[in-house]
Chain A
């Protein structure tokens, strides 16, 4: 016998799971369509059969998309890796100073640095364009690396500062009494305890820079475009063969998606750090 109370509880539980499954279905619909379309023979793609499975698997679209991206894949890799490394190292040092040292005016300087991650980059785009042209780095990968490093500093500084605040000051004091200076404390105590912090920051920076579009489309020349611009080109225009942009979307989405699936926990920490206090 099931009591009325239990019956009500089971109905409610079933209802919750039904809602969750419907939600999952809706969230994954676009994924289904992308994968299915990317595997169809272009001749068989038409709007009426959007939701149908391909009759034969047509893998060539992926090869074509990768060929169409050409150097842009490598550009994105170089760019994302370099800017991620630079902004993580600088961010770690900044976080160490802002959490464990007193510097003059820090109560004002820290918010001023943080404000840099919220500004609409459109506001600095034209002066940045002039500046990059002036120093001869406009349209180059090193130019874009500098841009992403600098605008990555606020978030990396913030994440490391919040991370280091949890390291007890007594540990540092003890080391200082043993004669350790600024760098010894960093290399012997702070850095070894930062691995998780570095993982969070590296994942966050890499995915953000890989996915970025505004600087990518305004600060590059044809040969040095990142992959997001390549995808926009692939999908732009009116008469699009949809198998290519869909395969391209999968290729462009794959690196951040793999990172997210494997290291989701760290990705979420980066995500929440963006709302400042977390």
Chain B
């Protein structure tokens, strides 16, 4: 079977795929990175879509502007929005999905029916979901009227157009926040691991904590988190924080994706042998104890992969925001939307490319380690 001729045929069969992926993924990524260092579409003398457009090399200027220029404040708002969206969407979907999976694990009559119901939004397009929820979240109808069905007062929250900003923070202080939180979390991990004599992990976490601190002290952040050109002006026009207008979009996204988490968990729970649970019961664990000490620890790899898949979806989110809040809503702006509006509406291809490259970088940060561990463990 493994003769030379057949092996050549095998290689020739995957060659088209290798070439196509090579061009459509890697060559295009390279080209996007290249474009992000030019002034294509930023130079008024050179119409972006002209037949022979001349572009010149501007180095990292586009990135520099994204981080500092007040005109690009919406990019920084989109980063803040992505942060809060990811946080609440991932935590919300994971908790709800896990809860539903545990409920369905209780030898339920008509389990198949309930599973079908909780999972059906996954079969819908984000555009469909967005259209439906946009109607449900109209300020004087839909969800806001729900309390009246049971005789309560209606709510008056302006879901998609609220101008409120919660959890406000100072953009310039983000390196401090990251350093502080990172250092605290890693130190706690190090101490806890050390207490349970897991010296290897403890040393690793302690080293990471020290590195985070050193990076901050050495001032390396100043090269990434550049000081804003006009901090006061930006604070006035675009305060950073959790924009309340995102809340409705997060609810719709959780509605759509929590079934996915549930499906992953159900698959995970099925994989835990019944003897293990039985043994725990014999040892005097209550039903809750079985989950706390047996099932949840076994599920942690599933939790992690669910969170990574959800996290990367949320970093690229575009269609749901488009359908719910429209492409020009400054309060709900996300990086994926900016690539669309800047690139395909305003033809500012260079700065749109720079945003796209930053998005790719953020996604790669979580996906590359994930793929690496997944494929290594499957060998």
Query: Which residues of chain A are within 8 angstroms of B305 by Cβ–Cβ distance?
Result: 275-277
Interface string of B313-343 (1 = CB under 8 A from A): 0011011001100100000000110011001
Chain B interface: which of A56-64, A66-74, A126-134, A194-202? A126-134
> Which chain A residue lies CB-closest to B25?
A116
Interface hub of B140, B145, B309, B356 (most chain A Cβ within 10 A): B356
State A46–B138 Cα separation when bound (angstroms). Answer: 11
State whether A252 touches B28 (Cβ < 8 A).
no
A103 and B315 form a contact (CB under 8 A): no
Establish whether residues B343 and A275, one from each chain, have CB atoms under 8 Å apart when the complex forms.
Answer: no
A87: nearest chain-B partner, CB-CB: B17
- Total interface residues on A, CB under 8 Å, equals 103
Interface-located stretch among B62-70, B100-108, B272-280: B100-108
Q: Are A125 and B136 in contact (CB under 8 A)?
A: no
CB interface residues, A 244-266, toward B, < 8 Å: 245-246, 248-249, 252-253, 256-257, 259-261, 264
Docked CA distance A103–B14 (Å): 9
The answer, yes or no, to whether A136 is at the interface (CB within 8 Å) is no
Q: Is the CB of A27 within 8 A of B121?
A: yes
Chain B residues with CB under 8 A of A90 = 16-17
Interface residue B135 (Cβ < 8 Å from any Cβ of A): yes
Tell me whether A222 is interfacial, beta carbon within 8 Å. no
- The answer to whether B32 and A124 have CB atoms under 8 Å apart is yes
Chain A stretch 74-101: residues in CB contact (< 8 A) with chain B: 90, 93-94, 96-98, 101
Residue of B nearest to A184 (CB): B6
Structural contact, B13 and A150, CB atoms closer than 8 A = no
A24: interface (CB < 8 Å)? yes
Chain B residues 117 to 154 lying within 8 A of chain A, measured CB to CB, are 117-128, 131-136, 138, 140-142, 145-146, 149
| CB-defined contacts of A212 to chain B, threshold 8 Å | 125
Cβ B375 vs Cβ A110 within 8 A: yes
Contact with B along A173-186 (1 / 0, CB 8 A): 10111001111010
Q: Does A242 contact B (CB under 8 A)?
A: yes
Which of the residues A27, A48, A253, A278 comes within 8 Å of B128, measured between beta carbons?
A253
CB < 8 Å neighbour of A115 from B5, B106, B367: B367
Which applies to chain B's interface (DSSP): helix, strand, loop or mixed? helix
Q: Decide yes or no: A121 and B316 within 8 Å by CB, A16-B108, A33-B135, A115-B368 being known contacts.
A: yes
Contact with A along B10-27 (1 / 0, CB 8 A): 110110111011011111
Q: Which residues of B contact A249 (CB under 8 A)?
A: 128, 131-132
Please report the C-alpha to C-alpha distance between residue A15 and residue B116 in the assembled complex, in whole angstroms: 21
Q: Which of A28, A150, A274 contacts B309 (CB 8 A)?
A: A274
A30 nearest CB neighbor, chain B only: B132
Q: Is the CB of A211 within 8 A of B263?
A: no
CB-based contact B124/A253 at 8 Å: yes
Pick the residue among B2, B127, B371, B378 that contacts A252 (CB under 8 A). B127
Mask: chain A, 17-34; 1 = CB below 8 Å from B; 0 = not: 101100110011110011
Return the contact of B138 from the options A47, A127, A217 (Cβ within 8 A). A47
B263 touches A150 (CB 8 A): no
B125 touches A272 (CB 8 A): no
Whether A253 pairs with B140 at a CB distance below 8 angstroms is: no
B14 touches A120 (CB 8 A): no
- Please give, as numbers and ranges, the residues of chain A lying within 8 Å of B340 by CB-CB distance: 122, 214, 217-218
Of B187-195, B228-236, B357-365, the one touching chain A: B357-365
Within 8 A of A (CB), among B200-230: none
Task: Check A124/B263 contact, CB under 8 A, given A33-B136, A37-B135, A150-B20.
Answer: no
B344 at the interface (CB under 8 A from A): yes
| A68 vs chain B, min Cβ distance (A) | 13
Q: Is A141 an interface residue (CB 8 A)?
A: no
Query: Cβ of A50 and Cβ of B117 under 8 Å apart?
Result: no
B287 to A: closest C-beta gap in Å = 8
Cβ–Cβ < 8 Å partners of A259 in chain B: 123
> CB-nearest residue of chain A relative to B323?
A232
Question: When each residue 223-253 of chain B gets 1 if its CB lies under 8 Å from chain A and 0 otherwise, what string results?
Answer: 0000000000000000000000000000000
Contact call A33/B372, Cβ cutoff below 8 A: no
Q: Which of B11, B126, B142, B343 contacts A211 (CB 8 A)?
A: B126
Query: In the bound complex, how far is the Cα of B316 from the Cα of A183, in angstroms?
Result: 40
Bound-state CA distance A98–B136 (Å) is 47
Q: Tell me if B260 is interfacial: C-beta within 8 Å of chain A.
A: yes
- B10-A125 in contact (CB<8A): no
Interface residues of B in 254-289 (CB under 8 A from A): 255, 260, 263-264, 267
Tell me the residues in window 343-379 of chain B with beta carbons closer than 8 Å to chain A beta carbons: 343-344, 349, 352-353, 355-357, 359-360, 363-364, 367-368, 370-372, 374-375, 377-378
Contact at A120–B5, with CB atoms within 8 Å?
Answer: no
Beta-carbon contact of B123 and A50 below 8 Å: no
| Across the A-B interface, the 4 shortest Cβ-Cβ residue pairs | A47-B141, A176-B1, A211-B125, A260-B123
Q: Chain B: residues with CB nearer than 8 A to chain A?
A: 1-2, 5-7, 9-11, 13-14, 16-18, 20-21, 23-29, 31-32, 35, 100, 103-104, 106, 108, 114, 116-128, 131-136, 138, 140-142, 145-146, 149, 255, 260, 263-264, 267, 305-306, 309, 312, 315-316, 318-319, 322-323, 326, 335-336, 339-340, 343-344, 349, 352-353, 355-357, 359-360, 363-364, 367-368, 370-372, 374-375, 377-378
- For this complex, 26 residue pairs linking A to B, each with C-beta atoms less than 8 Å apart, are A16-B103, A20-B104, A27-B120, A33-B132, A37-B135, A46-B141, A93-B13, A94-B17, A98-B14, A103-B7, A112-B21, A118-B367, A118-B371, A120-B356, A122-B356, A124-B24, A125-B343, A127-B35, A151-B24, A153-B21, A183-B9, A211-B127, A228-B319, A260-B120, A261-B116, A271-B263
Given contacts A112-B21, A213-B323, A276-B370, could you give 14 more A-B pairs where the C-beta distance is less than 8 Å? A20-B114, A34-B135, A101-B10, A103-B14, A104-B11, A120-B336, A123-B360, A124-B28, A127-B27, A130-B31, A181-B5, A260-B122, A274-B309, A275-B305
